[in-house]
Amino acid sequence: GAGVSQSPSNKVTEKGKDVELRCDPISGHTALYWYRQRLGQGLEFLIYFQGNSAPDKSGLPSDRFSAERTGESVSTLTIQRTQQEDSAVYLCASSLAVSNQPQHFGDGTRLSIL
Amino acid sequence: DAKTTQPTSMDCAEGRAANLPCNHSTISGNEYVYWYRQIHSQGPQYIIHGLKNNETNEMASLIITEDRKSSTLILPHATLRDTAVYYCIVRVHNSGSARQLTFGSGTQLTVLP
């Protein structure tokens, strides 16, 4: 399809393991966002990529979290040494860089830390 | 970004129009009104946005009052699949910086058979 694609859709792992989440944005969208959404709560901004500019990492909750993006395509969010409080849905969104263009979201990765 | 106020919940009969209100009395001149919705277990879905003119697309219509202090999202023929939490967001473009979204509590719309 033409939407934002995230994988895996579900991930269950043990505390202390590393996980890598993937996002394929809509083709041509230069802006890419990662959010976290805990059960029953709103969106928590994590990181923002815009073209070749330095990413805005101001929302990353700790140094266990990192993200990369290859050019204007795929992005990966990595969580090292996972903790139980990392359990959440991790959402990726992309948009055109033009002013006030809407963000389009994937269906997220549901991460469960045992 | 300006604060928005929405009713906590609303019901609508299937096939009827769903009218979802949003108050944004502190909106400034360069802030847009956006609507998103989130169906259970899915990511947020963009619906529509506007500045001051009424807007219509394949999903919905957006009616913005002349003073821009409130707006209404209209789903013309609600279906059961439209049951979701609907979020009204007011935001301004910040060139060169992250334009992350912040959702309030939204309106839980339940479409009844």
Give residue for tokens 């169906």.
B39
Touching check for B8 and chain A: CB below 8 Å? no
Q: Is B101 on the interface with A (CB under 8 A)?
A: yes
Task: Say if residue B98's pLDDT is above 60.
Answer: no
Task: Tell me which of B93, B101, B105 to substitute to probe the interface with A (most A C-beta atoms closer than 10 Å).
Answer: B101
pLDDT in tens, A28-82: 999 999 999 998 888 899 999 988 888 999 999 999 999 999 888 899 999 999 9
Chain B residue whose CA is closest to A99: B93
What percent of chain A lies above the pLDDT cut of 90? 76
Query: Average pLDDT for residues B71-95, to the nearest whole number?
Result: 90
Residues of chain A neighbouring B103 (CB-CB closer than 8 A): 42-43
Cβ A15 vs Cβ A112: under 8 Å: no
Chain-wide mean pLDDT for chain B?
91
How far is residue B55's CA from residue B63's CA, in Å, rounded to a whole number?
A: 7
Q: Give A85's contacts (C-beta < 8 A, 6+ positions apart).
A: A113
| Residue to substitute from B8, B42, B100, interface A, most A β-carbons within 10 A | B100
The per-residue pLDDT for range B49-62, each reduced to its tens digit, is 999 989 999 999 99
Q: What is the dihedral of CA A61, A63, A64, A67, to 10 degrees?
A: 80
Q: Which CA distances in Å does B68 have to A54, B6, B8, B32, B75?
A: 36, 15, 21, 10, 20
pLDDT tens profile B3-45: 899 999 999 999 999 999 999 999 988 889 999 999 988 999 9
